[in-house]
Amino acid sequence: MALLQERVKELVAKYGRSRENLLPVLQGIADTEHYVSEYAMQLVAEEMGLSAADVYGTATFYSFMETTPRGKYIIRVCKTISCFMKGKNQILLALEEALKIKLGETTPDRMFTLLETNCLGWCHKAPAMLINDDVHVDLTIEKVHQIIREYKQKANN
Amino acid sequence: MGKNVLKRIDLIFKHEDDCHEVLQKTLKRSDDELINELIGSGLKGRGGAGFPTGLKWKLTREAQGDVKYVICNADEGEPGTFKDREILATVPYKVLTGMAVCGKIIGATNGYIYLRGEYRYLVKDLEAEINKFHKICDEVGLNFRIKIFLGYGAYICGEESALFESMEGKRGEPRNKPPFPTEFGYMGKPTVINNVETLAHTWTIFKYGAKKFRDLGVQDSRGSKLFSISGDTPIPGIYELELGMTVEEFVEDFGDGDTKAVQVGGASGFCVPRKKFRDIAIGYQGKLTGISLPTGGSMMLFNSSRSMYNVLHNYLEFFAEESCGQCTPCRVGTQQLLQGIKAVKRGEKPAAYLDKLLSLSETMKATAKCGLGQSVANSFQSIVENFREEMIY
Ligand SMILES: Cc1cc2nc3c(=O)[nH]c(=O)nc-3n(C[C@H](O)[C@H](O)[C@H](O)COP(=O)(O)O)c2cc1C
Ligand code: SF4
Ligand code: FES
């Protein structure tokens, strides 16, 4: 908890206390903690001189701002029309199989969370997904298994 | 299919390495001369709405205010659109130059790029480009600085007033208009907000002159435009084409021989069925043959193997999720349309219920607060009216 306090202080010092820095501060917390807890929101509110309700209202508005604990790698599979037409459902099944979790869940070791999202801007290379900030396109079932193997290796090293 | 009826244009993605010279030469010209050049080019916003760019800059220049801003809208959330990402990845200096020239004209020293969270991987390279560009600004004696502001997964933040709210650290909820951004934008200051592609076109206009741009396109729809092409096509990708083409010409080039419908302008755009391909042109309101459809450039092709019910269902889910929930017609309406078509499909409601839903979408168009809720009717009506049987059986 003391660590989180430090992190919040550090971010507010980096970006500044005025309100227009709220989103960058919250993003900074999500980057290291993989989510923004209500406690973190309170700390931010105190540090920036805002009401906790204001911080909560802003944080919960943005779909990438996770407010429950998530894995180190957040997978977001595109479910919008072009990806849907190019077999997004099979990709999702392959991910569920590779990770042994269902959509919306996090692996017990807190490595992966599997989510869906709207159009990622790669429709010409559908189906597409994000793993944290990295884009993966032209997905096939084999490719999905390969990618997850690589991330698991990365996570174990 | 693959007939190459349409001329391919190569302006936007053409790499040019004279950023310093272009900026220097442009800044030597008077503000009035530059604004007239821009107005004369006929450039209209490439983000979807099609507002004349020269006029937007002129209004913001004339607006009262000690502080003003230039914002590049790189939220690119409309389903089926991916051209802005490619511009920022390959020719970012054209966009940065457009922002700087705009800043000089309107009297702004700060610019922002609002980049959607989905494109965060671009930040590192883009920041390096911005730093290089800042050096050029210093060399030519222009006081102008650009920062990236990262969005975080909200389509509505592409709407300009929601984008300002988001940058101010608030929920991305659209404001009432007027006042317009030219008077009351980011932090309540006069602001020019332009789409990435719009700014990239200003490079061409300032470097080569308005004529080079104006010679392309037709009547009220001047210049070239980037099209993001996806769905049932053998050659998906980004293409620069002249405005004014008919959907028929487009399908001859990009269809797979079995195209049954083309969605123009993404989920918030219009569905054009095969029987209307010939009558509809792509461009802004004007004197084009028949009806013309303005667009941010998303073109999605569907062949006869596709269920248009599934397409509409997917769009409605998108809107229901992305509605900011601020006003009732949109928050409730998107849900009712979605539940309504499901009920008709399952046989729980009679086919005539579709007419009720059509009139609900019309009400949303008239009463929703912003473009999101207002434009749900576009795809809803054009799909339900043209593919009614597919909604029922
Ligand atoms: C729901 C909604 C989403 C929008 N998303 C974008 C977007 O992602 N990018 C964009 O340039 N314009 C978007 N717009 C249009 C902007 O509000 C604005 O008109 C545009 O950025 C102006 O730039 P332009 O004149 O260069 O097109 C959106 C509008 C609405 C109503
Ligand atoms: S129309 Fe929809 S997105 Fe726009 S303000 Fe109303 S609820 Fe929000
Ligand atoms: S529909 Fe999936 S990336 Fe656009």
Domains in chain B and their CATH numbers?
8-214 (3.40.50.11540), 217-303 (3.10.20.600), 308-392 (1.20.1440.230)
Among residues A61, A84, A105, which one ends one of the domains? Answer: A61
- Where does the pLDDT of residue A108 fall: very low under 50, low under 70, confident under 90, or very high at 90 and above? very high
Arithmetic mean of pLDDT, B89-98: 98
- B134 vs B128: CA distance, rounded Å: 10
Q: Which of B103-107, B193-197, B214-218 shows the lowest per-residue confidence on average (mean pLDDT)? A: B214-218
SS3 B189: coil
- Where does the pLDDT of residue B3 fall: very low under 50, low under 70, confident under 90, or very high at 90 and above? confident
Q: Is there an atom of ligand 1 within 6 Å of B45 CB?
A: yes
Nearest ligand by distance to the CA of B85: 1
- Where does the pLDDT of residue B292 fall: very low under 50, low under 70, confident under 90, or very high at 90 and above? low
**pLDDT for position A156:** 81
Arithmetic mean of pLDDT, B244-248: 93
- A156 vs B3: CA distance, rounded Å: 52
Q: Which residue of B155, B331, B361 sits with most ligand 2 atoms within 8 Å of its CB, as the best mutation to test the pocket?
A: B331
- Is the same domain home to A40 and A107? no
- Is the same domain home to A82 and A147? yes
CATH number, domain with residue A77: 3.40.30.10
Q: Is residue A84 part of a domain?
A: yes
Distances (CA, A) of B169 to A35, B19, B244, B290: 18, 33, 40, 44
Sign of the Cα torsion B90, B240, B12, B167 reads: negative
Residue B174 CA, ligand 2 centroid: distance in Å:
7
Radius of gyration of chain A from Cα atoms? 17
- Is the same domain home to A146 and A82? yes
Tokens of B116: 């959607």
Does the beta-carbon distance from A118 to B230 stay under 8 Å?
Answer: no
Candidates A61, A63, A123; nearest CB to B80: A123
* pLDDT averaged over every residue in chain B: 95
- Is the same domain home to A152 and A85? yes
DSSP per residue, B360-382: HHHHHHHH-SSHHHHHHHHHHHH
- Where does the pLDDT of residue B283 fall: very low under 50, low under 70, confident under 90, or very high at 90 and above? confident
Q: Is residue A97 part of a domain?
A: yes
Arithmetic mean of pLDDT, B123-151: 98
- Where does the pLDDT of residue B289 fall: very low under 50, low under 70, confident under 90, or very high at 90 and above? very low
SS3 A106: strand
Cα dihedral B258, B264, B270, B271, rounded to 10, equals 10
- Is the same domain home to A84 and A143? yes
Domain that includes residue A136, residue range = 73-156
Q: How far is A147 from chain B (nearest CA, A)?
A: 18
**pLDDT for position A2:** 80
Tokens of B37: 């050049």
- Which residue's entry shows tokens 């054209």? B94
Q: Which of A114-128, B63-77, B219-233 shows the lowest per-residue confidence on average (mean pLDDT)? A: B219-233
**pLDDT for position B296:** 86
Q: Which residue of B57, B173, B195, B334 sits with most ligand 1 atoms within 8 Å of its CB, as the best mutation to test the pocket?
A: B195
- Is the same domain home to A57 and A111? no
DSSP per residue, B223-291: SEEEEEEEES-SS-EEEEEETT-BHHHHHHHH--S-EEEEEESSTTSEEEEGGGTTTEEESSSSSSSSE
- Is the same domain home to A144 and A108? yes
> How many Cβ atoms from other residues are within 10 Å of residue A51's Cβ?
9
Candidates B169, B229, B300; nearest CB to A23: B169
Among residues B124, B121, B118, B125, which one has the least CA distance to residue B78? B118
Q: Phi and psi of A146, rounded to 5°?
A: -60, -50
Q: Is residue A94 part of a domain?
A: yes
Percent of chain A with pLDDT over 70: 99
Whole-model pTM?
0.97
Candidates A23, A57, A133; nearest CB to B120: A133
Arithmetic mean of pLDDT, B47-67: 95
Among residues B126, B119, B124, B173, which one has the least CA distance to residue B150? B119
The answer to whether residue B1 scores a pLDDT higher than 60 is no
Local structure of residue A45 (DSSP, 8 states): H
Residue B184 CA, ligand 3 centroid: distance in Å:
34
- Is the same domain home to A45 and A93? no
Q: Phi and psi of B285, rounded to 5°?
A: -45, 135
- B72 vs B98: CA distance, rounded Å: 10
**pLDDT for position B288:** 45
Taking CA–CA distances from A87, the nearest residue in chain B reads B231
Tokens of B286: 């004007």
Distances (CA, A) of B385 to A45, B27, B275: 50, 52, 13
Which residues lie below 8 Å from residue A35, measured CB to CB, with a gap of 6+?
A66, A67, A68, A69, A70
**pLDDT for position B2:** 64
Q: Is residue A138 part of a domain?
A: yes
Contact B353, B346 (CB under 8 A): no
Nearest ligand by distance to the CA of A123: 3
Which residues lie below 8 Å from residue B268, measured CB to CB, with a gap of 6+?
B48, B78, B371, B372, B375, B376, B378, B379
- Is the same domain home to A24 and A80? no
Instruction: Tell me the pLDDT tens digit for each residue of B303-357.
Output: 999 999 999 999 999 999 999 999 999 999 999 999 999 999 999 999 999 999 9
Q: Is residue A28 part of a domain?
A: yes
Nearest ligand by distance to the CA of B368: 2
The answer to whether residue B291 scores a pLDDT higher than 70 is no
Residue nearest ligand 1's atom 1 by CA: B372
Q: Is residue A68 part of a domain?
A: no
Is residue A20 less than 8 Å (CB to CB) from chain B?
yes
- Is the same domain home to A17 and A92? no
- Is the same domain home to A104 and A56? no
* Domains contained in chain A, number: 2
Q: Is there an atom of ligand 1 within 6 Å of B49 CB?
A: yes
Arithmetic mean of pLDDT, A40-54: 97
**Which residues form the pocket of ligand 2, taking CB atoms under 6 Å from any ligand atom?**
B 156, 174, 323-327, 330-331, 368-370, 372-373
**pLDDT for position B287:** 47
DSSP per residue, B107-174: T--EEEEEE-GGGGGGHHHHHHHHHHHHHHHHHTT---EEEEEE--S-GGGGSHHHHHHHHTTS---P
- Is the same domain home to A81 and A33? no
Global ipTM: 0.97
Q: Is residue A67 part of a domain?
A: no
Q: Which of A136-140, B213-217, B293-297 shows the lowest per-residue confidence on average (mean pLDDT)? A: B293-297
Chain A residues in contact with B187 (beta carbon < 8 A): 20
CATH number, domain with residue A12: 1.10.10
Nearest atom (ligand 2) to Cα of B324: 8
The answer to whether residue B294 scores a pLDDT higher than 80 is no
Q: Is there an atom of ligand 3 within 6 Å of A25 CB?
A: no
Which residues lie below 8 Å from residue B389, measured CB to CB, with a gap of 6+?
none
Sign of the Cα torsion B166, B170, B173, B178 reads: negative
- A56 vs A38: CA distance, rounded Å: 8
- B109 vs A126: CA distance, rounded Å: 40
Q: Is residue A7 part of a domain?
A: yes
**pLDDT for position B310:** 98
Nearest atom (ligand 1) to Cα of B53: 25
